[in-house]
C-alpha cells in the first residue's frame, strides 16, 4: 500500500475531527509570485461543505497575512492562524496577536536596502515578519540566504524560516504548531481530534502538534516529514476532501 493509498482510506468523521489547512501548495497551487495565487472555486466549495459538516471546526494556518488570507478565501470567513500564528482569528472572530512585532519595520527597511536592484528577488512585508522570495531568480538563493542571515544577526529577535523558494524572518515565539494548539483550546475545535494538511517545512510544527494531540497529519508532496500520511500532489486534495465532507 502506498502512502497515498493509506490517505485515500483515511476518512476522518466530520463530527469528531477538527480540520486545519495550510494555504500555498495545499489549498492553492503554487505560482511564480505570491500575488498570482488563487484558491480554485472547487476548493472553496469543498471547504464550505466540510466546514458545515464539521460544525465550523475548520481553520487555515498559513504564513500569509490575515487580510491576504481573507481575500484569497473569499467569500469564506474562517478562523485563521496568519503569519505562522503571529495573528490568530478565533471562531468568534476575535483577533489575537500574542507577540510584539514592533521591530519588523526596521528589519524590512534594512533588507529592502540590501536587496535593492536584485532582479527577480521579491521582498514581502508582513506585520510580524518578512519573506524574501527567489522563485523568479533561483540563482540568487545563496545571496538571499546570506542577506537573511546577516539580517538575523542584526535583528536578533527574529529567526530564519526557510520555505519553498523563500526565506522568512519570523519571531521565534510563533509557529504553526502553537497556532493549532491555541485554536484547539476553544469551541468548536475543543474536544475534537485535529487533522493538519500542509506541503512545506513550515507545516512540520503543526503536523507534530496534531499528532501529539491524538490527531493526524497529511503532507502533500515529497520530502522528509513527521506527517503520518501523504498525498502525492496538491491536485489530489480536492477529491479527497469531497469524500471526507460527506
Ligand X SMILES: O=P(O)(O)OC[C@H]1O[C@H](O[C@H]2O[C@H](CO)[C@@H](O)[C@H](O)[C@H]2O)[C@H](O)[C@@H](O)[C@@H]1O
Shortest Å, Cβ 162 to ligand X: 10
Residue whose grid cell is 530564519:
160
Shortest Å, Cβ 178 to ligand X: 14
Residue whose grid cell is 503569519:
83
Shortest Å, Cβ 231 to ligand X: 15
Q: Does 163 bind ligand X (CB under 6 A)?
A: yes
Q: Does 79 bind ligand X (CB under 6 A)?
A: no
Shortest Å, Cβ 246 to ligand X: 26
- Of 165, 173, 213, 226, the one binding ligand X (CB under 6 A) is 165
- Of 6, 16, 33, 232, the one binding ligand X (CB under 6 A) is 33
User: Of the ranges 40-48, 109-117, 158-166, 219-227, which one interacts with ligand X (CB under 6 A)?
Assistant: 158-166
For 99-160, the DSSP string reads: S--TTHHHHHHHHHHHHTT-TT-EEEE-SS-EEEE-TT-GGGHHHHHHHHHHHHHHSTT-EE
Q: Does 37 bind ligand X (CB under 6 A)?
A: yes
Burial of 55 (0-12, 13-18, 19+ CB in 10 A): middle
Residue 225 near residue 48, CB atoms below 8 Å: no
Q: Does 173 bind ligand X (CB under 6 A)?
A: no
Give the residue among 234, 187, 230 at the shortest CA–CA distance from 207: 230
- Of 7, 54, 57, 62, the one binding ligand X (CB under 6 A) is 62
Question: What three-state secondary structure class fits 163?
Answer: strand
Q: Does 22 bind ligand X (CB under 6 A)?
A: yes
Q: Which residues are catalytic?
A: 22
**Shorter beta-carbon distance to ligand X: residue 147 or 200:** 200
Q: Is the dihedral of CA 101, 122, 84, 36 positive or negative?
A: positive
Residue whose grid cell is 492562524:
81
What is the footprint of ligand X within residues 86-145 (CB under 6 A)? 124, 131, 133, 135
Q: Does 204 bind ligand X (CB under 6 A)?
A: no
Residues in contact with 48: Cβ distance below 8 Å, sequence separation at least 6, in sequence order: 76
Give the residue among 85, 87, 84, 83 at the shortest CA–CA distance from 96: 87
Shortest Å, Cβ 117 to ligand X: 20
Residues near ligand X (CB under 6 A): 22-25, 30-34, 37, 62-64, 124, 131, 133, 135, 163-166, 168, 200, 202
Amino acid at each position: 500500500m502506498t502512502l497515498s493509498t493509506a490517505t485515500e482510506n483515511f476518512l476522518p468523521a466530520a463530527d469528531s475531527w477538527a480540520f486545519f489547512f495550510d494555504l500555498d501548495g495545499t489549498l492553492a497551487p503554487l505560482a511564480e509570485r505570491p500575488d498570482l495565487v488563487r484558491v480554485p472555486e472547487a476548493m472553496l466549495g469543498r471547504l464550505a461543505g466540510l466546514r458545515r459538516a464539521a460544525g465550523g471546526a475548520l481553520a487555515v494556518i498559513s504564513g500569509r497575512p490575515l487580510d491576504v488570507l481573507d481575500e484569497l478565501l473569499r467569500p469564506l470567513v474562517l478562523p485563521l492562524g496568519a503569519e505562522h500564528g503571529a495573528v490568530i482569528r478565533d471562531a468568534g472572530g476575535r483577533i489575537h496577536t500574542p507577540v510584539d512585532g514592533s521591530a519588523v519595520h526596521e528589519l524590512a527597511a534594512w533588507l529592502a536596502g540590501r536587496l535593492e536592484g536584485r532582479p527577480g528577488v521579491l521582498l514581502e512585508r508582513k506585520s510580524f515578519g518578512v519573506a524574501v522570495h527567489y522563485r523568479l531568480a533561483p540563482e540568487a538563493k545563496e545571496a538571499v540566504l546570506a542577506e537573511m542571515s546577516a539580517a538575523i544577526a542584526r535583528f536578533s529577535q527574529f529567526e530564519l524560516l526557510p520555505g519553498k523558494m523563500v526565506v522568512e524572518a519570523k519571531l521565534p515565539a510563533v509557529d504553526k504548531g502553537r497556532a493549532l494548539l491555541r485554536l484547539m483550546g476553544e469551541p468548536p475545535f475543543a474536544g475534537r481530534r485535529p487533522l493538519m494538511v500542509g506541503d512545506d517545512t513550515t507545516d512540520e510544527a503543526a503536523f507534530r502538534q496534531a499528532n501529539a494531540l491524538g490527531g493526524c497529519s497529511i503532507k502533500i508532496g515529497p520530502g522528509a516529514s513527521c506527517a503520518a500520511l501523504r498525498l502525492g500532489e496538491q491536485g489530489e486534495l480536492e477529491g479527497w476532501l469531497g469524500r471526507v465532507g460527506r
